[in-house]
Structure 1
Amino acid sequence: MNNKAENRRTALQPENAVHPEQARGQQYYKALCARDRRFDGVFFTGVLTTGIYCRPVCGVKTPRAASCRFFHSAAAAEHAGFRPCLRCRPELAPYALQQNLAHRIWHQIAEGALNQQSLEAYAAKAGLSSRQIRRVLLQEFGVSPVELAQTQRLLFAKKLLQETAMPVTDIAFAAGFGSLRRLNALFAERYQMTPGSVRRARQHHPESIVLRLAYRPPYDWEAVIRYLAFRAIPGVETVTVSGTDSAYRRTVSLSGHQGSICVKHDAAKSQLILEVTNTLTPVLFPLMARVREQFDLEASPLQIADNLGNDPLIAPLVSAHPGWRVPGAFDHFELAVRAVLGQQISVAGATTIAGRLVQRFGTALDQQKTQFLFPSPQTISAASVSDIAALGMPGKRAQTLIALAQFASHGGLVRKPGDTLEICAARLCELPGIGPWTAHYVAMRALRFTDAFPEGDLGLQKSLATLKQAAGAELPVLKCSAAETLAAAEQWRPWRAYAAMLLWQFG
């Protein structure tokens, strides 16, 4: 280990590391000894005797408590001079699902927000000052924004080196480095090794790249895949529901690059397998983040279940369906359009109209015109009301889609770190034809607010009435009112979105 790393390690500040003698450190050490998957991604363990940091699920021999230092992020561990473990691979760890400002900034930078723009440019878009962002990250994680971004780039490059046969130069650019020289320099500085030394022999797929995405078990893959299958947009998404062979496929357009992806499940390793066409190599960093969001891989299912299980009304559903998730959206605009199309009609009807929208305004990826890219906000903005209405919807709904497209074109569907659920829902409700139900549905699945809750949804109201009747309540009607549904949901905060999905799927 170099002197710089040694100095950093011996000068650890309390806010950067959690020591074993502290209460939380004791909890983390117990989780480490038990290899508790609930804490995977919540903390990392730096081992003084080896200079390596690991995930709490690492299979190596458990170190003595006195040799451990605990960190809330990989960046903080690397800032203190520790190198990532080559066995448990910290880059596989799911992120901690948190809702405070510091964690939201952390998520966006970890997902590549600084790869194509400066900190000042990102801060301006986020509605914050660069000084405020530095202060928040230093207070919460003990690292600067640049250090966080560099750590995530290095870990992603390490992931590509170990899981793909991509040339190292391509890996450097895909991970957000400006040059191969910069990747080599940071590898030498942080890891005391070359990129080639961590490369593993992999079968070369000439037309695709295969990556692995870890999650905290349990994970109800079948429930997620069935939910997505019922809502798959013809021409854009194809979902196969067939036990261990279940798969989700879709077309992708990201930052000017087009291709397709396929997602499958590896239950034995608690991972999803992501196959990506080579045409999407330059955008692997943000693409992987979108897939993690769509399949809700950052969730802590046992923590959510513990919280919701405290309510006797919903507890039977919680215990009967471990590992359920709130499926997200690969593309925010696409999901918002689906939400608008689904207003006052069946899911099947909305799917049919979405398919017509794709056929009329989407871009075909093959000569047979079986695969399409979902139309962009700019394309829908330029369409006429009559052309959209001709697909089988009222003129007012067509106007709503155009207004939504204009809203999205100006960044309206991008969640800023300081945005609250109330702020985002209010913005959406300002659009003609969008009410609380649509706003909260978009907030749940696209903007990823864990506490979003469309209390006016008829399905939720009926499911809640069924639960109350099963608990012995005598109800004169077959559904609860919106006010009754909202009152019952107070006990489910801050996980009301998960409760809603549980009621929709299993209630």
Structure 2
Amino acid sequence: MYRDRERCIRAVQAKDQRFDGWFFTAVRTTGIYCRPSCPAVPPKPANMVFHPSAAAAQAAGFRACKRCRPDTSPGSPEWNVRADAVARAMRLIAEGVVDREGVTGLATRLGYSTRQIERQLNEELGAGPLALARAQRAQTARVLIETSGLPMSDIAYGAGFSSIRTFNDTVQEVFALSPTELRRRAARAAKPPAVPGVIGLRLPFRRPLTPDNLFGHLVATAVPGVEEWRDGSYRRTLRLPYGHGVVSLTPAPDHIGCRLALTDQRDLQVAIARCRRMLDLDADPVAVDEQLSRDPQLAELVAKAPGRRVPRTVDGAEFAVRAVLGQQVSTAAARTHAGRLVKAYGTPVEDPFGGGLTHLFPAMETLAGLDPETLAMPRSRRTTLTTLVAALASGEVDLGGGSDWARARERLAALPGIGPWTVEVIAMRGLGDPDAFLPTDLGIRKAAQALGLPSAPAALTRHAAAWQPWRAYAVQYLWATDDHPINLMPQE
């Protein structure tokens, strides 16, 4: 979008929040860059330069605006919609792959050479993988500086910087403030954390957002010991690259409150990225709802509760296992099966918030050694589960952030006992494909029939072609016609 200069100028002059994260406005006369909705007086169009990423603006020598804090904008929706190499690279960079494995590791995961990846990212985003990772480190550092009492040396290490000097120089260059000045400014309005060692921050999103089905689905299917709803917040444990964490997520009108307790601060950015992905916070609800509303049968549903998100997951492999456990059983039975698995094979952890979280969901390598005879389910489903776990543990099936969606679908479909419904629900919630569709789902077919839509799977699929590329969101609106707990905001 940043190449459409006139459209960008109109968005900046209107202070349109919908475009935050889509592009960034740099101002030649001030040397700063802003989000489109910056509350300051818009600059003259002649002084505006548009960049596709914060990293590109920083690479061009611009500093982040202290007023609108463009580095905290919602992420671009493109990285959730697209499945090409650039989108996969961006998802992996958000997962911290460049910091842990370098550009070579990123390229290897994508199946390209480092030169190809650097060229594609520079052409589309105006910055290479190192610059994009640097911008991410700067944002992580800012969060730690402003929300924790950690020494600056620990923050530099936790944010992924190789030295204190690089940390100081980067923060000064990006934010035009030293780390100490950043902390001093934040301290004026900051509240002390309710729990020592807990990082508190806000997760922004594009409005509107209807949280009912989002949190309702997560809580109704919550695995005992791994997830819970407590004091108005969805809480869960997280298995992370350097350690583990516990997160508490609280819906608010203009943000999601997030409290994180981590065993290793280097996992902060990964934890944030996974929580944003789980809650689908980088979606563009205006574009989604506009497309779906063109169908008269869906228009009323969208108008009633605009901005529905797709409840996703923090771990695609975990969700795939849970999807198989839930085949042909009730939601309560699926939770029971998953809870038994967690109790037997999960890693015990302590809940720093004093709640009921007790375990991490088992790692696939651990589940690969389970005895199928201990599973209280039909033999055919045991075979499906053990085959799936083996494929996930070996890497034959990749459901991570940088996975190839088409290849993942093919390999899932080749496993015994995994049919189209299971493949598509994993694609929707595990992979994050916004166009995944479940035409054989009973709830979808009942909702379609009640709305006067075709209910036969083949006919419904043909009709739903007009909903592309947002069919996963149409699924949420159709499911919401039922009063199942997955569609209701949890109550205490």
Q: Corresponding residue for 2:364? A: 377
Contact 1:35 1:56 in 2 (8 A): yes
Partners of 2:332 and 2:164 lie apart in 1 by: 49
Query: By how many angstroms is 1:237 displaced?
Result: 0.4
SS of corresponding position for 1:207: coil
After TM superposition, the score normalised by the length of structure 2 is 0.90
Note closer, same or farther for the CA distance 1:160–1:369 as it changes in structure 2 (3 Å cut).
closer
SS of corresponding position for 2:295: coil
Q: Corresponding residue for 2:223? A: 233
Q: Corresponding residue for 1:452? A: 436
SS of corresponding position for 1:251: strand
Note closer, same or farther for the CA distance 1:443–1:283 as it changes in structure 2 (3 Å cut).
same
Q: Corresponding residue for 1:161? A: 145
Contact 1:109 1:149 in 2 (8 A): yes
Partners of 1:259 and 1:132 lie apart in 2 by: 35
Note closer, same or farther for the CA distance 1:366–1:74 as it changes in structure 2 (3 Å cut).
closer
| Residue from 395, 398, 403 that aligns with 1:413 | 398
Partners of 2:109 and 2:411 lie apart in 1 by: 17
In the alignment, structure 1 residue 480 sits paired with structure 2 residue 458: no
In the alignment, structure 1 residue 251 sits paired with structure 2 residue 237: yes
Query: By how many angstroms is 1:141 displaced?
Result: 1.4
Q: Corresponding residue for 1:343? A: 327
Note closer, same or farther for the CA distance 1:365–1:190 as it changes in structure 2 (3 Å cut).
closer
Partners of 2:430 and 2:288 lie apart in 1 by: 19
Post-superposition CA distance 1:258-280 (Å, at most 9, x none): 3311111231xx21111111424
Q: Tell me whether 364-373 or 132-141 shows the greater mean CA deviation.
A: 364-373
The amino acid of 1:375's aligned partner reads P
SS of corresponding position for 1:114: helix
Partners of 2:477 and 2:338 lie apart in 1 by: 25
Query: By how many angstroms is 1:116 displaced?
Result: 0.7
Note closer, same or farther for the CA distance 1:207–1:31 as it changes in structure 2 (3 Å cut).
same
The amino acid of 2:442's aligned partner reads L
Percent of aligned pairs sharing the same letter = 39
| Residue from 480, 494, 502 that aligns with 2:469 | 494
SS of corresponding position for 2:7: helix
In the alignment, structure 1 residue 309 sits paired with structure 2 residue 268: no
Contact 2:439 2:460 in 1 (8 A): yes
Where in structure 2 are the equivalents of 1:331-410 lying within 5 Å? 331-366=315-350, 371-387=358-374, 389=375, 392-410=376-394
Note closer, same or farther for the CA distance 1:338–1:120 as it changes in structure 2 (3 Å cut).
same
SS of corresponding position for 1:238: strand
Query: By how many angstroms is 1:326 displaced?
Result: 0.1
- Listed as ranges, the gaps of 5+ residues in structure 1 are 1-14, 19-23, 470-478
In the alignment, structure 1 residue 142 sits paired with structure 2 residue 126: yes
Aligned residues: 468
SS of corresponding position for 2:201: strand
Query: By how many angstroms is 1:417 displaced?
Result: 4.8
Post-superposition CA distance 1:108-159 (Å, at most 9, x none): 2244220111211221121111111011111111212211111221122123
After TM superposition, the score normalised by the length of structure 1 is 0.87
Query: By how many angstroms is 1:319 displaced?
Result: 1.4
The amino acid of 1:304's aligned partner reads V
In the alignment, structure 1 residue 86 sits paired with structure 2 residue 66: yes
Partners of 2:120 and 2:341 lie apart in 1 by: 43
Larger radius of gyration: 1
Post-superposition CA distance 1:37-58 (Å, at most 9, x none): 2101001111112111011121
Query: By how many angstroms is 1:190 displaced?
Result: 4.5
The amino acid of 1:230's aligned partner reads A
Partners of 1:249 and 1:229 lie apart in 2 by: 9
Q: Corresponding residue for 2:303? A: 319
Note closer, same or farther for the CA distance 1:101–1:308 as it changes in structure 2 (3 Å cut).
farther
Query: By how many angstroms is 1:310 displaced?
Result: 1.2
The amino acid of 1:116's aligned partner reads R
Post-superposition CA distance 1:93-117 (Å, at most 9, x none): 1111121432332232244220111
In the alignment, structure 1 residue 462 sits paired with structure 2 residue 449: no
| Residue from 33, 39, 43 that aligns with 1:59 | 39
Contact 1:91 1:159 in 2 (8 A): no
SS of corresponding position for 1:450: coil
State the Cα RMSD in Å: 2.1
Contact 2:207 2:307 in 1 (8 A): yes
Partners of 1:318 and 1:156 lie apart in 2 by: 36
In the alignment, structure 1 residue 261 sits paired with structure 2 residue 247: yes
